[in-house]
Amino acid sequence: MLRSSISPWRFWIALHLWALGSALWAAEPAVRALDIRGIKIGGTTTLTIDGDDLGKTPRLLLPFNVTQTLKPNSTDKKATFDVTLGDDVSPGYYHLRLVTEGGVSLPTLIGVDRIAQQTSADPIQQLPVAVHGTLAGAAVVEAKFQGKAKQRVMVEVEAQRLGAKLRPVVHLYNARKLQLAWVWGTPALFGDCRLEAILPEDGSYSVTLHDAEYAAVAPSFYRLRIGEWSRVDQVFPSVVAKNQAVTITATGFTEAIKAPANPGFLPLSFPKAGVWSGPRPFVMISSHAEYIEAAAKEKLQEIAVGLAGVSGRLTTPYEEDRYRVAVTPGSKVKLEVFAERIGSPIDCALVVRNEQGVQLVRAEDAPGTLDPVLEYTVPDKVTAIIVGIDDAQGRGGPSGAYRLVIEPQFAAKDNFKLTTTAQRISLPIGGRTIVPVQADRRGGYLGKIDLAPSLQMPGVKLTGTTIPEGADGTLVTIERSDAFLDASVTSLRGRTKDGAEQVVGIKGHPLERLQPWLAAEIALAPTNEAAGDFAVDWRELPETAAVVPASRLLLPVKLTRPMSKNTVKLTLVTSQNTPLLNNVPDPNKALRQDKLGELAATVTTGDVTMLVPPDLSAPTYDVTVLAELLDPAKKVLATAYTPVRRMAVVLPLALKLAGPERIETPFDPKKGGSVKIAGKVERREGLKADIAIALTGLPAGAKADAVTVKADATDFVVNVTFPPTIAPGEIKGVKLSGSYAPDGKVPNVRVRSREVEVTFVIQAPIK
């Protein structure tokens, strides 16, 4: 049960709130629309927010100092603010959130710069300007401005980058409705568009904006900038190695950096002089070697053996850059070029040549991209190849950047990625919430990972901050005391025992490529209720409860709840990183709830049944139950979690060898060799099924007998034979395992024991 230290008068108030029912529960605020998705630096911008549960005294949560005034006549559905920024705020994209007595809203992305902000209903008085509005269906919006002869004008739409679904197309007309230029969305701008023009004469000009298919779907808001400003579309190099010192350049932009010691990203700052606008530039930090194209090209640039990246530019049409890449004879190497995928205009081809310059293979577009990918098998006795990056379509120029990634087949990897689904945390006094953090270990790292917040918050305690070795993740418990807590924005970072770090990103966040640090932000805010008013706890759940493959686990819970007519929904939450099938989580391999549970009014006990799949990859899983108090319209009024239980995976089956795992194997050069592997099966959890014994990883020509241990038996013997062609020596990586079918009607679905690794020592014949 959630507990808090509550004074007698507060307890008396809590009892009365309880008796009055759910009408007094403050829900988390929701922002539906924002009339202006931008704020001017060094000025005041008036913002109107439409939403739900905005309360009586909402306030904006922004990551910089701001003066804000809630205007009169604001309501629970609409709030208007005057927002004033100082001159010290850096331009860029930021998250805006709304904080109320019910918690904090999900983030809304806005642009912050020194450009005037206005709605589409207002006439344009000056340039540059950012015009904000919403475009529906086949509508066409128009913005008029006055221009001068030879004036340079940019017109840029920010829609998809800010989270809209509008597919923008922009046209520029003179006063006589003669079209001067038009443009549609491009991948380099993440689906948004930009045109640049020199105005031919003094006079009135108009910009029109519409959806590419005249069928805009919600949300279809836009931020239309007109005028002239500075921007950074592409930095070079875009990726640097950890601890590498390098100068980052772009048009009108230079910054010398020393990369941090851990992979991730490093945001850069716009220059203080001038009018800058758009997303903030950044570089990615790599865990392996990174090279930058050498200025002198008289001699081929050498790339050492191993996992590496090379950043270069094709500055003239049809140019080709070549690198001498050291390789291992007989191995495979993956060569991949990133150009279109990093916003470059060039269409590259990838060419592999021998050291005499003869072309061996050429690759162009890979599935889903114009960038080439090639897996190349290195011939025997070859220790170097020439890799060329070719401007296939003649689009080379100052922006023609690319990155070549060289990945040998057996390149050492020891990386991981951390994600969570939590973007906001609303904490009552004495409250508890859960933040699931999952580890993607496909980068090769299997050790434990310790988590910590980037911002220390007095009165807030985190537990469950270690992802165990080999585990999918953890359920981090965040608890609030009765101390004062202010709204803030933080993030989580994971750290290995060797000091490697990764930030925890929001799973599937749309800003992961555009502004990755925003994709890691988690907002935390207090609420005005006491947690004890609504709580959930385990009800006689045994301390020995474990996760058993192909079984059902009953999770009994009990509620502390308001005496109202509201129902409570119970939902299972686990730390499992569910395996994918066709890029979609596979329910057959998931720890899942048997059926959604909903408790009627006044009911204070219930059960959640967890279905356990037959195949589990991790040694432990965290488990909790989420309880949600619902109003008659199924709106969530309050939430609570049971304490997290870390449950071990208990396999009903284990194998134990009768002898050592290193097995001496007699050998006859005419007949080959043979050996017997003897052992026992250990049954647990009442297992009575037949057990199939299997041996995997044997070399070509070797065979192992199929063995089945009947339900009433325990001993097994596996005969293994080796052909006369087998070479004397050690054979490692052979694995022995057992399996059974938990349901005889589905024999192909099996529960497997943990593998026992054995080594065969093929003895040379005695002469």
Q: What is the CATH number of the domain that holds 192?
A: 2.60.120.380
- The verdict on residue 100 lying in a domain is no
- The verdict on residue 70 lying in a domain is no
Residue 78: name the closest of 96, 42, 53 by CA: 53
Contact status, residue 395 vs residue 401, Cβ threshold 8 Å? no
Question: Is the bond preceding 128 in cis, omega lying within 30 degrees of 0?
Answer: yes
Q: What is the mean pLDDT of the chain?
A: 91
Is the domain of 354 the same as that of 427?
Answer: no
- The verdict on residue 80 lying in a domain is no
Name the 3-class secondary structure at 18: helix
Is the domain of 253 the same as that of 374?
Answer: yes
Question: What pLDDT is stored for residue 428 in this prediction?
Answer: 87
- The verdict on residue 293 lying in a domain is yes
pLDDT at 3 over 70: no
CA-CA distances (angstroms) from residue 487 to 71, 306, 372, 519, 590? 21, 46, 47, 19, 35
Antiparallel, parallel or unpaired: β 129-134 and 116-119: parallel
Is the domain of 608 the same as that of 724?
Answer: no
Q: What is the CATH number of the domain that holds 657?
A: 2.60.40.10
Q: How far is CA 693 from the centre of its chain?
A: 40
Residue 17 — very low, low, confident or very high, per pLDDT cuts 50/70/90? Answer: very low
Residue 528 — very low, low, confident or very high, per pLDDT cuts 50/70/90? Answer: confident
Antiparallel, parallel or unpaired: β 92-100 and 580-581: unpaired
- Rounded average pLDDT over 669-674: 88
Residue 285: name the closest of 258, 264, 313, 315 by CA: 264
Is the domain of 661 the same as that of 628?
Answer: no
Is the domain of 384 the same as that of 292?
Answer: yes
Q: Which of 22-36, 354-368, 738-752 shows the lowest per-residue confidence on average (mean pLDDT)? A: 22-36
- Rounded average pLDDT over 430-453: 92
Is the domain of 493 the same as that of 639?
Answer: yes
Per-residue pLDDT tens digits for 91-120: 999 999 999 999 999 999 999 999 999 999
Is the domain of 301 the same as that of 386?
Answer: yes
Question: Is the bond preceding 699 in cis, omega lying within 30 degrees of 0?
Answer: no
Residue 226: name the closest of 149, 331, 131, 97 by CA: 131
CA-CA distances (angstroms) from residue 424 to 28, 159, 429, 506, 565? 10, 24, 16, 11, 28
pLDDT at 705 over 90: yes
- Rounded average pLDDT over 664-692: 92
Dist CA 53 CA 99 (whole Å):
10
- The verdict on residue 19 lying in a domain is no
pLDDT at 298 over 80: no
Q: Which of 648, 665, 697 is the last residue of a domain?
A: 648
Residue 2 — very low, low, confident or very high, per pLDDT cuts 50/70/90? Answer: very low
Is the domain of 187 the same as that of 311?
Answer: no
Is the domain of 385 the same as that of 431?
Answer: no
Name the 3-class secondary structure at 603: coil
- Rounded average pLDDT over 315-342: 93
Is the domain of 433 the same as that of 367?
Answer: no
- Rounded average pLDDT over 158-181: 97
Contact status, residue 574 vs residue 473, Cβ threshold 8 Å? no
- Rounded average pLDDT over 605-619: 94
Residue 21 — very low, low, confident or very high, per pLDDT cuts 50/70/90? Answer: very low
Per-residue pLDDT tens digits for 626-646: 999 998 888 888 889 999 999
CA-CA distances (angstroms) from residue 644 to 111, 593, 698, 721? 39, 16, 43, 50
Question: What pLDDT is stored for residue 15 in this prediction?
Answer: 31
- Rounded average pLDDT over 305-324: 95
CA angle 660, 658, 736 (to 5 degrees): 75
CA dihedral defined by 270, 274, 276, 280, rounded to 10 degrees?
0
Question: What pLDDT is stored for residue 439 in this prediction?
Answer: 95
- Rounded average pLDDT over 608-628: 95
pTM of the entire predicted model: 0.86
- The verdict on residue 66 lying in a domain is no
pLDDT at 214 over 90: yes
Q: Which of 633, 648, 663 is the last residue of a domain?
A: 648
Question: What pLDDT is stored for residue 25 in this prediction?
Answer: 61
Give the ranges where 394-471 is alpha helix by DSSP (H). none
Residue 360 — very low, low, confident or very high, per pLDDT cuts 50/70/90? Answer: very high
- The verdict on residue 83 lying in a domain is no
Question: What pLDDT is stored for residue 482 in this prediction?
Answer: 83
pLDDT at 612 over 50: yes
Residue 500 — very low, low, confident or very high, per pLDDT cuts 50/70/90? Answer: confident
b/e per residue, 497-514, with b = 16+ CB within 10 A? Answer: eeebbbbbbbbebbbbeb
Per-residue pLDDT tens digits for 542-600: 999 999 999 999 999 999 988 778 899 999 999 999 988 888 889 889 999 998 789 99
Is the domain of 578 the same as that of 685?
Answer: no
Question: What pLDDT is stored for residue 19 in this prediction?
Answer: 34
Is the domain of 750 the same as that of 659?
Answer: yes
Question: What pLDDT is stored for residue 6 in this prediction?
Answer: 32
Domain span at residue 182 reads 116-227
- The verdict on residue 84 lying in a domain is no
Per-residue pLDDT tens digits for 119-130: 999 999 999 999
Instruction: Give the DSSP letter of residue 236.
Output: B
Domain count of the fold of the chain: 4
Residue 623: name the closest of 760, 469, 465, 436 by CA: 436
Q: Which of 625, 648, 671 is the last residue of a domain?
A: 648
Share of the chain above pLDDT 90, in %: 78
